[in-house]
């Protein structure tokens, strides 16, 4: 999805503080940047800026999603996205990490997933 109207996109974002107190402890909602479904298989995509961390709760959720059959690809990059600082993949409960890869490597991972590999 290409964002057509960035102002409207930002305006549509919800402040999840509206659900404060609904979950036990310090649990709060997290977002995922992209999601694709093909033939019942689901891929979640998460983008982070270089140097940012995947928070513990999101990492735990990604691992759980992969155990449920989904694939999660989280990647760290800045504009332009020609070099990907870090790629983390959770698939079938297995975690794999790649560092300093070209954009084509990320595209290959996603295309392989789409092809069912």
User: What local confidence, expressed as pLDDT, does residue 111 receive?
Assistant: 97
| C-alpha–C-alpha distance, residues 104 and 83, integer Å | 9
Instruction: Classify residue 12: in a domain, yes or no.
Output: no
**CA distance linking residue 52 with residue 117, whole number of Å:** 29
Tokens of 62: 């990604």
Parallel, antiparallel, or unpaired for β 71-76 and 41-48? parallel
8 A C-beta contact, residue 19 and residue 27: no
Residue 13 in domain: no
pLDDT (tens place) for every residue of the chain, 117 residues total: 677 888 887 888 888 899 999 999 988 888 899 999 999 999 999 999 999 999 999 999 999 999 999 999 999 999 888 899 999 999 998 999 999 999 999 999 999 999 996
Q: How many alpha carbons fall within 13 Å on the CB side of residue 80?
A: 3
Q: Is residue 110 part of a domain?
A: yes
Give the range of the structural domain holding residue 79, as residue numbers without chain letter.
29-114
* Total domains, the chain: 1
Domain assignment present for 1? no
State pTM to two decimals: 0.88
Strands in 83-91's sheet, in edge-to-edge order, are 34-38, 41-48, 71-76, 83-91, 94-102
């Amino acid at each position: 999805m290409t964002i057509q109207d960035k102002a409207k996109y930002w305006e549509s974002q919800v402040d999840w503080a509206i659900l404060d107190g609904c979950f036990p402890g310090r649990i709060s909602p997290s977002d995922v940047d992209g999601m694709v479904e093909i033939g019942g298989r689901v891929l979640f995509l998460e983008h982070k800026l270089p140097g940012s961390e995947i928070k513990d709760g999101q990492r735990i959720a990604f691992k759980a999603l992969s155990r449920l059959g989904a694939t999660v690809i989280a990647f760290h990059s800045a504009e332009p996205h020609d070099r990907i600082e870090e790629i983390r993949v959770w698939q079938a409960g297995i975690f794999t990490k790649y560092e300093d890869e070209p954009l084509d490597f990320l595209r290959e991972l996603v295309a392989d997933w789409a092809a069912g590999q």
